[in-house]
């Protein structure tokens, strides 16, 4: 259901090597993604090359930024499970939580995780509600998000989940350089510190038939507790980003 060889080639270009068992689990994931997409709107990308590069390889660009040893990860606004599910399949020492505001997406993800044997906690909530929940607030080593919102807004959604000493990884497009300048003040208010932005082209070396895609990985370290007033209500975040 996805181009395994292409996925392996692209991943190896940035140091991500995936074994046979993981490749097969990703194939199950791809099959379910295509099947369920016929019943509900999960993704516009369903071709074997697109799934291999724009979903799986793209998600695993964040793998080199993950901590060493066992860690907990929350994927905020996970949608169809990207990047959280591929990252957890790649790193079986990851304790995975998937948060989304749409319950039918979580039903899909419950099926995926059961079929591939991946332990997961599923949370049906808006990000700003989850960030104020004491059972979720500052409980995770890593928060990640892909294609959810601009970085000033996304930081307020995600940083409240991260424990002090943890990190927030945002998978962004080339506009991240500009977004980051707008987000720096808010990141500091929320208890974060930008520690790096990695520019990538996927694939990094030309592959015939694959259109290159620009990606920016923004890594923010949590250096102090997020003030209790954050995250604010969603309407306030959108109207007046930090």
pLDDT per residue as tens digits for the range 82-104: 999 999 999 999 999 999 999 99
127 pLDDT band, cuts 50/70/90, is very high
pLDDT the model gives residue 209: 85
Mean pLDDT of 114-121: 98
68 pLDDT band, cuts 50/70/90, is very high
Q: How far is residue 73's CA from residue 84's CA, in Å, rounded to a whole number?
A: 8
Beta-sheet pairing, 192-202 with 213-222 = antiparallel
| Rounded (10°) angle between helices 4-12 and 20-37 | 120
Determine contact, residues 194/38, Cβ cutoff 8 Å: no
pLDDT the model gives residue 238: 86
The CATH number of the domain covering residues in 67-239: 3.40.50.150
3-state SS assignment for residue 124: strand
List pLDDT tens digits, range 189-216. 999 999 999 999 999 888 988 999 999 9
pTM of the entire predicted model: 0.96
Q: Report CA torsion sign: 82, 85, 89, 95.
A: positive
Per-residue burial over 30-64, b if 16 or more Cβ lie within 10 Å, else e, is bebbbebbeeeebbebbeebbbbbbbbbbbbbbbe
pLDDT the model gives residue 40: 94
Mean pLDDT of 139-166: 95
Q: Helix (H) and strand (E) counts for the chain? A: 10, 7
Mean pLDDT, all residues of the chain: 95
Determine contact, residues 200/2, Cβ cutoff 8 Å: no
Domain positions in the chain are 67-239
Bridge partners of 122, per DSSP, are: 98
Q: How far is residue 66's CA from residue 169's CA, in Å, rounded to a whole number?
A: 9
148 pLDDT band, cuts 50/70/90, is confident
45 pLDDT band, cuts 50/70/90, is very high
Mean pLDDT of 146-164: 94
Distances (CA, A) of 18 to 15, 21, 59, 211, 212: 10, 8, 13, 22, 21
pLDDT the model gives residue 183: 94
């Amino acid at each position: 259901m996805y181009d395994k060889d292409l996925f392996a080639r692209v991943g190896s270009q940035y140091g991500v090597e995936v074994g046979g068992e993981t490749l097969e689990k990703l194939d199950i994931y791809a099959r379910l993604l295509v099947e369920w997409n016929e019943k509900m709107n999960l993704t516009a990308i369903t071709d074997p090359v697109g799934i291999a590069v724009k979903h799986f390889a793209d998600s695993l660009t964040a793998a080199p930024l993950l901590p060493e040893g066992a860690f907990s990860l929350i994927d905020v606004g996970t949608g169809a499970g990207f990047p959280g599910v591929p990252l957890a399949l790649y790193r079986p020492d990851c304790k995975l939580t998937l948060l989304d505001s749409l319950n039918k997406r979580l039903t899909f993800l419950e099926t995926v995780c059961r079929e591939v044997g991946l332990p997961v906690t599923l949370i049906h909530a808006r990000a700003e509600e989850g960030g104020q929940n004491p059972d979720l607030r500052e409980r995770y080593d890593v928060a990640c998000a892909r294609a959810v919102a601009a970085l000033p807004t996304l930081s307020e959604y995600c940083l409240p989940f991260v424990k002090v000493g943890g990190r927030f990884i945002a998978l962004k497009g080339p506009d991240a350089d500009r977004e980051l300048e707008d987000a720096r003040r808010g990141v500091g208010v929320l208890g974060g510190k930008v520690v790096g932005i990695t520019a990538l082209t996927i694939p990094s070396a030309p592959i015939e038939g694959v259109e290159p895609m620009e990606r920016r990985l923004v890594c923010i370290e949590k250096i102090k507790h997020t003030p209790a007033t954050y995250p604010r209500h969603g309407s306030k975040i959108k109207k007046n980003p930090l």
